[in-house]
Amino acid sequence: MQKIRIAFMCVAMVSASAFAQVSNSLSQAGGEYALNQTDPSVDMMDNLLIELYSTNPAWKFEEKDYSLYGYAETDTPKFSNEVYKERVEKLAGLSEMPYEYNDRAQSFINLYVNKRRTQMRNMLGLSQQYFPLFEQELDKRGMPIELKYLSVIESALNTNAVSKAGATGLWQFMYGTGKLYGLKIDTYVDERRDPVMATDAAFDYLQDLYKLYDDWFLAIAAYNCGPGNVNKALRKAGGGKQTFWDIYEYLPSETRGYVPAFIGASYAFQYHKEHNLKPAEFGYRYDMVDTIMITKKMKLSDLTVFLNMTEDEIAIYNPALKTKTIPGYPYPYPLRLPMKNVALFFANEENLYASLNSPVQKESNNTLVSTTTTSQSNTATNTTGVDIDPNEPVKITYSVKKGDNMGYISDWFDCTVTDIKKWNNLKSTKIIPGQKLKIEVPAGKKDQYAAINSMTLKEKQNLTGIAIVGQPEEKKEEPVVSYYTVRSGDTLWSISKKYPENTIEELRELNDLSKNETLKAGAKIKVVK
């Protein structure tokens, strides 16, 4: 099912990478490659790092005193091409990644370690915050640790990076792909910007791609341009077992620079000391945070006086927040804060909640819960005087309509695709009209959510403000699931001809049939009419 999921993505990811095209016009001087000054890759890299500062105003980099290391800040060591080649080959010997040295890789090595040294020092500083998170997850999954460098060429380690095509976050997820891999995206929250959530989703996607190609460079190329383009390039190159370099000329131009950029980033981070590159100081410590569960809707400005933090400083620890509002109701929101400020929050918790007077907030529970192991019980106290806690989750049933998809449904019911799959024990995101889905909602809003079941597609999309793209609502009678009694000689193909609304794959999916499973006369199977 993983392969089916990937095959139906058009262009699943669009990179905000700084490296759209590679300049093949290189000159040599003193044994060192010189990158063309007009290469668009350099301009894009600069734009990414300018955006990094503008979208994260609380980030402050401080240069170290380089005289302490025995050299001036401007000292740039020079090496021969043979040295670069030997180092890249050493990387290849220590990794599953099929590293290869060539002039295209060298152009990006030069970009990182020679031409953009200040930006490289800043990224080295940021990597100290994010790489431990990436490495832990990669190690747990048994994936190459070097995949952490993909975030460098995707976003320059900027959690708020957004490409012209709309790809967002450290791992540059497009909207549809983010929803497909369980990331919540709504008015207030975009988990593509969340380092933990997005990293987990990105590695899920990379694992799915590796299952298709059994080659990490082909997998990361597909991460950039989508598996459809990689498959097309493989066919043009003659089929069979091919490498990235075998299909290089058949790939989209923006993808040709993607793997060379990855090699360049890998080299720069592995050998930054040899190039006199030291990490810039960065005040944010991602490993020194704790999480509290906010159960009331509030603005960041409501918190500042009680936390002794600015709105920008709170936002930097919570990049998934799209606005200056925390959507703590009807579902609790996990807010990350430095540990010292978590303690300050609990010391001022009573005064904070006393200052909040929103009518919606009055309906919610007044209890805040820390998610650390040392926190108190996370059971909310019922203060409403009714038998059922309004935040208590209850199940309702939603009937899938024509035009629905998992991403839409998760938006309407303020949950994630992963939630829906878990509640309904589904292995894929495939749904069909007439299918019944169990959805968990707060008891206090049960009727409000239940009303969604009778709305038109346009009315449901108006709930989220997300336009319906390429699928106008049809005023036809909704298909329903019925049962067909299998006759002697029937096959899925013959049944799909009797009921054209069903394809063979849809019949297998609907009835949980394997590809080799045969139909038995007298058995009843589900069909859509």
The b-or-e profile of 46-73 (16+ CB within 10 A means b, else e) is: eebbebbeebbeebebeeeeeeeeeeeb
Tell me the torsion sign for CA atoms 491, 495, 500, 501. Answer: negative
The b-or-e profile of 375-386 (16+ CB within 10 A means b, else e) is: beeeebeeeeee
**Burial (Cβ within 10 Å: 0-12, 13-18, ≥19) of residue 447:** exposed
3-state secondary structure string across 375-442: CCCCCCCCCCCCCCCCCCEEEEEEECCCCCCHHHHHHHCCCCHHHHHHHCCCCCCCCCCCCEEEEEEE
The b-or-e profile of 335-345 (16+ CB within 10 A means b, else e) is: bbbbeebbebb
Q: What angle do CA 311, 317, 321 make, to 5 degrees?
A: 70
Q: Which two tokens stand for residue 52?
A: 């990094």
Active site residue 154: yes
Would you call the peptide bond into 330 cis, given omega within 30 degrees of 0 as the criterion? yes
Given a contact cutoff of 8 angstroms between Cβ atoms, the answer to whether 125 and 280 are in contact is yes
Q: Which residue, among 241, 263, 276, has the nearest Cα to 124 in the 3D structure?
A: 276
**Residue at 153: amino acid letter:** I
For residue 426, the tally of other CB atoms under 10 A from its CB is 16
Given a contact cutoff of 8 angstroms between Cβ atoms, the answer to whether 192 and 185 are in contact is yes
For residue 188, the tally of other CB atoms under 10 A from its CB is 17
For residue 515, the tally of other CB atoms under 10 A from its CB is 8
Alpha-helix runs per DSSP H in 94-116: 103-110
Can you tell me whether residue 8 is helix, strand or coil? Answer: coil
The single residue of 146, 154, 191, 509 carrying the catalytic annotation is: 154
Can you tell me whether residue 167 is helix, strand or coil? Answer: coil
Active site residues: 154
